[in-house]
Amino acid sequence: MIRAIYPGSFDPITNGHLDLIHRGASHFDQLVVAVLINDEKQALFSVQERMEMLRDAVKGLSNVEVDSFNGLLVDYTARKKASVVIRGIRAISDYEYELQMALMNRRLAPDIETMFMMSGEAYSFISSRLVKEVFRLGGDITGLVPPSVATRLKQRLLVKV
Question: pLDDT (tens digit, 9 = 90+) per residue, 102-136?
Answer: 999 999 999 999 999 998 888 888 999 999 999 99
At 160 the pLDDT is 52
22 catalytically annotated? no
Question: Is residue 34 within 8 Å of residue 68, measured between CB atoms?
Answer: yes
Is residue 56 included in any domain, yes or no?
yes
pLDDT at 156: 86
Give the count of domains, the chain. Answer: 1
What's the confidence (pLDDT) of residue 124? 87
Residue ranges for the chain with pLDDT beneath 70:
159-161
Indicate whether 102 belongs to any domain: yes
Is residue 32 included in any domain, yes or no?
A: yes
Query: How far apart are the C-alpha atoms of 9 and 147, rounded to whole Å?
Result: 19
In a domain, 140, yes or no: no
Active site residue 17: yes
Mean pLDDT (the chain, rounded): 93
Residue 62 has a CB neighbour count (10 Å cut-off) of: 9
| Residue 133 placed within a domain | no
Domain annotation covers residue 65: yes
13-25 confidence digits (pLDDT tens): 999 999 999 999 9
Q: How far apart are CA 85 and CA 60, in angstroms?
A: 22
Query: Which residue range(s) make up the domain with 41?
Result: 3-125
Which residue out of 87, 119, 128, 152 is catalytically annotated?
128
**How confident is the model at residue 92, as a pLDDT?**
83
Q: Domain containing 73 — which CATH number?
A: 3.40.50.620
How many other C-beta atoms can be found within 10 angstroms of the C-beta atom of residue 125? 12
